[in-house]
Structure 1
Amino acid sequence: MELFLECDLEYDEDTPFGKDVDADHAYLMDAVDKVGGNLDKQLISKAFYFCVEMHKGKYRKSGYPYYTHPLNTTLLLMNELQLHDSNSLAACLLHDTIEDVEIVSTEMITKEFDADISEMVDGVTKISHSEIIKPEIYTEDKVQQNLIEDNLAGPSKPRVSKAETYRKLFMALVRDARVIMIKLADRLHNMRTLHYLSPKKQVEIAQETLNFYIPIAHRLGLLKVKMELENRSFYYSNRENYEAIRTALNEKRREFIDYIRVFSDLIQNSLNAQNLKHVLSIVHKHEYEIHKMTQNGKSISDIDNFYSVVIILQSNDVHECYRALGVLANAFNTISFVDYISKPKLDWYKSLNTELIGPDGKRIEILIRTKEMDTIAEEGFAANFSLKTGRVRALQFTDSDIDEWGEWMKDMIEEFGDNASQIIWDSLKVNLFDSELTVYSKEGRQISLPKGSTLVDYAFVLSDEYGLHCVTGKVNGSFHDLNYKLNSGDQVEIIKSDNAVPKFEWQKSVVSHRAVAMLHKYFKLNPPKTFLKKKADGNYDTKLIIRGEDRELMLLDITEAIGKSNIKRINLDTADSLFDGALSVMVENVEELNNIMVRLLTVKGVSDVRRVYEEEEK
């Protein structure tokens, strides 16, 4: 039986690197040999020495030569993220050269290496340029001063807008997943050495990691990377809470460990009696997982399933998983069961997950997998693809999907500036990271959609023609409005007409990337009739509808969000703690109106704001 414990966050970079370049090179080559396969040692060696030469005279905050960071990152990429591709490893060694070395360009890397490596380095560079927190690099003259100076240095400055950061991360993820794998390895090493930075920067980088990189690691199924990034981010962003949860967990673990071992022995005996060869592991929830559970209203004392028992069958026969489940169901009382083998998760995760009642009536989660499934559960995306063809996509997006969604993001940034960050992130989150629902066509075809999808979203999955010309839809045989939200298991049918055109308000309810992008594109090319009437003083009078949950000072907050000089009239009706209102505002242009609407949507309790068009008033 194997017992997995949490990662040690009291990490100190006692690196063997930085004293002897040739010794560091020999270490890297030995690591490449251990991986085996067809890795190109000559290419990786060339990239290493290029990296050393280009970063010569530069140091990390830790005082180590800067080249030790790309070296450590490459070893992480190869050994922990399991990316065994010569071009990727070379690009990882070079990943900071364009960013930080004035004489290095994409053209130089293409000439010295090749276009594939150059494109990867350029992709990582674009993400790095867009990060809120820029890692610091020091010259030899400054390093000693910086090692002893006050840690509470001034705040770092944003390089570009947060909205642009999200767009570039999306582009990197969907165009070539190797780029984001390199960036995840880079972030993992930076998090392991975060203690060298000031407390303020520790918090900023930890929050950035929680917002950007952990959802991506989750989407790629990189379980170990995700867990470590979560715990380290939690530790640096809220150390007091982290320590409190860790102390409570240690007490709970001491309380549970003997019990879980007894239960595990019972499980093993049941499986052995049926000649089901297996390896059994015990996995416990880590600190950040518990933190999220307490955020949802649970106290630590209410949590009784600290441990999961992972049964890894020593066969890749899927039927063995179901046989093992049957054995356990006969031996213990079963509470719940989820089949992720027949319906895998978004991150390729496959397993039979069940909860059993063990001795003393305690609940235990059981995860049943084959060896292959366990590899995927641990390594995620890296276990699933072949790199023989070079560039690899982690997600199933067509070139058209990528171009249209990316163009929508650019338009959002142009229209709303940094206020677009939440709009873009919400769209990325729904389409890339949140759970899916599964519906069925009239013919029985299975179709996956983001949670919250409407009939219009479904229509765009069928084709752009259906999306742009749908008039109504049937769900389980009954007609529904096109804004109707679908549920898993629904049978769906779309009725279209060549004469039908999209309605502007559909943009408020669709969530799928294709529907969002294509409706935006349609109304950009075919704008609705003007809804603003110019007054004699040069201003425009327009009406807004606002809805939400009523509370004390709501009217005052709405007034401040609009601005007293813009308000012409406000009417709010309240009933059962909800309000429904009509606003008349004066603005100079559409941009000013859009900014007012964004501010209104940030008011606590406001759930919906929309414009009223001339045709709606008639």
Structure 2
Amino acid sequence: MELLFEFDLEYDEDSSFGLDPQKDLEYLLSEIDRIDNSIDKELVARAFAFCVEKHSDTARKSGYPYYTHPLNVALILLKEFSIHDTASIVASLLHDTIEDVADVGESQIALEFGTDVAEIVQAVTKISNDVISLENSSINWDELDGKQKAELKHKLKAGTHRKLFLALVRDIRVILIKLADRLHNLRTLHYLSPKKQKEISLETLNFYIPITHRLGLMKIKMELENRSFYYSDKSAYEAIRLALNEKRRDFIDYIKVFSDTIQNSLNQHNLTHTLSIVHKHEYEIFKMINDGKSISDIDNFYSMVLILDTNDIHECYRAHGVLATAFNTISFIDYIAKPKMDWFKSLVTELFGPDGKRIEIIIRTEEMEKIAEEGFASKFSLRSGRIRALNFTDKEIDDWGDWMQGIIEEKGERATQIIWDAIKVNLFDSELTVYTKDGKAITLPEGANLIDFAFSVSDDSGYHCISGKVNGVITDLNHKLKTGDQVEIIYSNKFQPRPEWQESVVSHKAVSMLHDYFKNHVASKVNEVAVEVIDFDAKIRIRGEDRERMLFEITEAIGKSIIKRISLDTSESFFEGIVAVKVKDKSELNAIITRLMGIKGIKSVIKVYD
């Protein structure tokens, strides 16, 4: 059995690299021949020569010639990310030339290697962590006080995150090169100062890790997490590592007996397979401890992965049946029928093994194993052309970028967190699918409400929505949607957005469009708001056909928090009533009346001011 997810924290570069550029090139080309000979080797060779020439006077902190870093990034893309796109490999070799070499610009890259490569290199350059160098002549840091320096640094950090996100949604290849670049830098982090080690590690945990999770690059994610954890808190890392090793000794002795029984059972049913051991990695355990668990409370430090030598998913269920017959089943989760967001597909079962001990078994096909390791790259042909991570139009990307820039200018040190929260919701968190009344599926981030839905349908319905129906029931705009809901928006062109909507929406479109609306309309609206009556009492007279749940639906349409008094009189199958309410302004009162008129059986709604 193989033990997965092990790597050397004190990694060192291949000592043969950097001695002879020609031999290094030959090695790169031989790997291309071995992995995918459709890659344009002539273009790769020219890019490598360009890289060696332009970085000839520079060395890494390790002492190796600088060109060995782009070489390693290209090899990581090729061998570990399974990226076989010529432009990506070429751009990875050139990714530091515009930033680090004075006489190299985008136009020269485009002339020699094509516009596709040049655009990737330029995008990677723009999202460099040093977006604006401290030595930038336009910033005189000596003239700034401590508060001004802190504010500027927050702006620069938020600007970096904005560039990273926009690059991610525009062309996935850019962020993949950044991830490969970050992985190699972490593998050689021991050459840097402790302060720099911690800074780079924390940045990796805060931003790059969620991206690897969304793209399903789980093996890369684990390595980035563990290396970052190690350099950000070595004592905590070592304590968890020690506990993991103690658990390993107990597990390995026990699993020898268990694995023999498993393999015999599978072989008897002609299920050819590979059996491996995986473990919860150090940073994963650290997060559990931070959530309040003790080491003794954590189950399944070690699990077994059963990889079937087939791509027939039915064999997974057959294998599970064999194991369930041989051992008592504690739990079973089907991630084949309902995959995780991060591309994970497997059957996960927990069994009672010998001596009544528990063991988790993960059952998957060869293809599922490939997906588990390579994620995004395993599902798409990364051989040529731009690939976007989300279905954003160019206009939506520009609007989203404008919103981020506005947040950077307006929110100061909170900008980075606001941008990051929005990124996580729209890119990394779970999604839900709801339906229009015509049956059209709409995908929204988890936590979306009726306003988010309205903007996803059209700009008009977003700007002018009043309320909506969810599964046929009138509800207010803040109602959180669930997967499977059927949604209909009620709107009027006389109704305008309210500032508090910005606090409740989560989708990229609603967030950016409302921000833009209030930025452009705030001046013209000031005078209108000044003459409006604010916080007043009103009475609403309602008539209609009486039926079960009528009072409940009226209460929901108005909102319990603003009802002061309600009285209804019924006569046979009809009712008439007065509802006293406390509203903020006429706009809110009009919205309530519109919602009431949408209730089945309501014949008239008349407002009476006090």
Superposition deviation, residue 17 in structure 1: 1.5
- Match for residue 254 of structure 1? 249
Look up the equivalent residue of 2:479 and give its one-letter code.
Y
User: Which residue, 276, 301, 305 being the options, matches 1:306?
Assistant: 301
CA deviations 1:297-319 (Å, max 9, x no partner) are: 11111123112222222222222
**Matches of 1:461 and 1:203 in 2, distance apart?**
41
**Matches of 1:51 and 1:297 in 2, distance apart?**
49
Look up the equivalent residue of 1:82 and give its one-letter code.
S
Look up the equivalent residue of 1:79 and give its one-letter code.
K
Partner SS, residue 38 of structure 2: coil
Partner SS, residue 166 of structure 1: helix
- Match for residue 200 of structure 2? 205
- Match for residue 564 of structure 1? none
Partner SS, residue 7 of structure 1: coil
- Match for residue 85 of structure 2? 85
Task: Indicate the larger mover: 436-445 or 379-388.
Answer: 436-445
1:421 and 2:384 correspond: no
1:168 and 2:159 correspond: no
Distance 1:107 1:177, change over 3 A: same
Distance 1:338 1:233, change over 3 A: same
Partner SS, residue 406 of structure 1: helix
Task: Indicate the larger mover: 222-231 or 33-42.
Answer: 33-42
Look up the equivalent residue of 2:177 and give its one-letter code.
I
Distance 1:371 1:533, change over 3 A: closer
Distance 1:213 1:532, change over 3 A: farther
**Matches of 1:491 and 1:389 in 2, distance apart?**
39
Matches for 1:287-366 after TM superposition, within 5 Å: 287-366=282-361
Partner SS, residue 504 of structure 1: coil
- Match for residue 524 of structure 1? 519
Distance 1:513 1:55, change over 3 A: same
- Match for residue 567 of structure 1? none
CA deviations 1:394-416 (Å, max 9, x no partner) are: 33323233222122112212222
**Matches of 1:385 and 1:169 in 2, distance apart?**
21
Superposition deviation, residue 129 in structure 1: 5.1
CA contact (8 A) 1:210 1:233 kept: yes
Distance 1:388 1:225, change over 3 A: closer
CA contact (8 A) 2:155 2:412 kept: no
Superposition deviation, residue 391 in structure 1: 1.2
- Match for residue 144 of structure 1? none
- Match for residue 95 of structure 1? 95
Matches for 1:367-446 after TM superposition, within 5 Å: 367-442=362-437
- Match for residue 43 of structure 2? 43
**Matches of 1:388 and 1:35 in 2, distance apart?**
12
1:117 and 2:117 correspond: yes
CA deviations 1:219-276 (Å, max 9, x no partner) are: 1111111111100000000000000000111001111122234333333333333333
TM-score by length of structure 1 reads 0.78
User: Which residue, 483, 502, 508 being the options, matches 1:507?
Assistant: 502
Partner SS, residue 59 of structure 1: coil
**Matches of 2:52 and 2:306 in 1, distance apart?**
45
**Matches of 2:248 and 2:479 in 1, distance apart?**
47
**Matches of 2:502 and 2:84 in 1, distance apart?**
43
Distance 1:364 1:495, change over 3 A: farther
- Match for residue 58 of structure 2? 58
Look up the equivalent residue of 1:433 and give its one-letter code.
F
Look up the equivalent residue of 2:340 and give its one-letter code.
K
Task: Indicate the larger mover: 479-488 or 64-73.
Answer: 479-488
Task: Indicate the larger mover: 273-282 or 55-64.
Answer: 273-282
**Matches of 2:356 and 2:393 in 1, distance apart?**
50
**Matches of 2:329 and 2:526 in 1, distance apart?**
61
User: Which residue, 438, 444, 461 being the options, matches 2:456?
Assistant: 461
- Match for residue 23 of structure 1? 23
CA contact (8 A) 1:132 1:159 kept: no
Partner SS, residue 276 of structure 1: coil
CA contact (8 A) 2:451 2:477 kept: yes
**Matches of 2:325 and 2:488 in 1, distance apart?**
42
CA contact (8 A) 1:457 1:467 kept: yes
Partner SS, residue 128 of structure 1: coil
- Match for residue 191 of structure 1? 186
Task: Indicate the larger mover: 229-238 or 213-222.
Answer: 213-222
CA contact (8 A) 1:339 1:351 kept: yes
Distance 1:244 1:159, change over 3 A: same
Task: Indicate the larger mover: 325-334 or 386-395.
Answer: 325-334
- Match for residue 543 of structure 2? none
TM-score by length of structure 2 reads 0.79
**Matches of 1:325 and 1:444 in 2, distance apart?**
37
**Matches of 1:280 and 1:491 in 2, distance apart?**
45
- Match for residue 560 of structure 2? none
Look up the equivalent residue of 2:387 and give its one-letter code.
V
Superposition deviation, residue 158 in structure 1: 5.7
CA contact (8 A) 1:129 1:160 kept: no
**Matches of 2:259 and 2:388 in 1, distance apart?**
40
RMSD: 3.0
Task: Indicate the larger mover: 182-191 or 365-374.
Answer: 365-374
Superposition deviation, residue 447 in structure 1: 4.4
Look up the equivalent residue of 2:407 and give its one-letter code.
M
Matches for 1:120-159 after TM superposition, within 5 Å: 120-128=120-128, 130=130
Unmatched 5+ stretches in structure 1? 135-156, 535-541, 544-611
**Matches of 1:439 and 1:261 in 2, distance apart?**
49
Superposition deviation, residue 27 in structure 1: 1.9
Look up the equivalent residue of 1:18 and give its one-letter code.
G
- Match for residue 601 of structure 1? none
Superposition deviation, residue 532 in structure 1: 12
Superposition deviation, residue 504 in structure 1: 2.2
Look up the equivalent residue of 1:250 and give its one-letter code.
N
Identity of aligned residues (%): 65
- Match for residue 285 of structure 1? 280
- Match for residue 212 of structure 2? 217
Look up the equivalent residue of 1:100 and give its one-letter code.
D
CA contact (8 A) 2:155 2:413 kept: no
Distance 1:100 1:342, change over 3 A: same
CA contact (8 A) 1:43 1:90 kept: yes
- Match for residue 540 of structure 2? none
CA deviations 1:181-239 (Å, max 9, x no partner) are: 11111111110111111111111111111112111111111111111110000000000
Task: Indicate the larger mover: 358-367 or 227-236.
Answer: 358-367
Partner SS, residue 229 of structure 1: helix
**Matches of 2:330 and 2:215 in 1, distance apart?**
30
CA contact (8 A) 2:5 2:219 kept: no
CA contact (8 A) 1:452 1:485 kept: yes
Matches for 1:558-597 after TM superposition, within 5 Å: none
CA contact (8 A) 1:376 1:383 kept: yes
CA contact (8 A) 1:531 1:614 kept: no
CA deviations 1:35-61 (Å, max 9, x no partner) are: 233111111110011001101111111
Superposition deviation, residue 613 in structure 1: 9.5
Superposition deviation, residue 5 in structure 1: 4.5
CA deviations 1:105-154 (Å, max 9, x no partner) are: 000101111000000100110111546999xxxxxxxxxxxxxxxxxxxx
- How many residue pairs are counted as aligned between the two chains? 523
1:76 and 2:71 correspond: no
CA contact (8 A) 1:131 1:158 kept: no
1:235 and 2:240 correspond: no
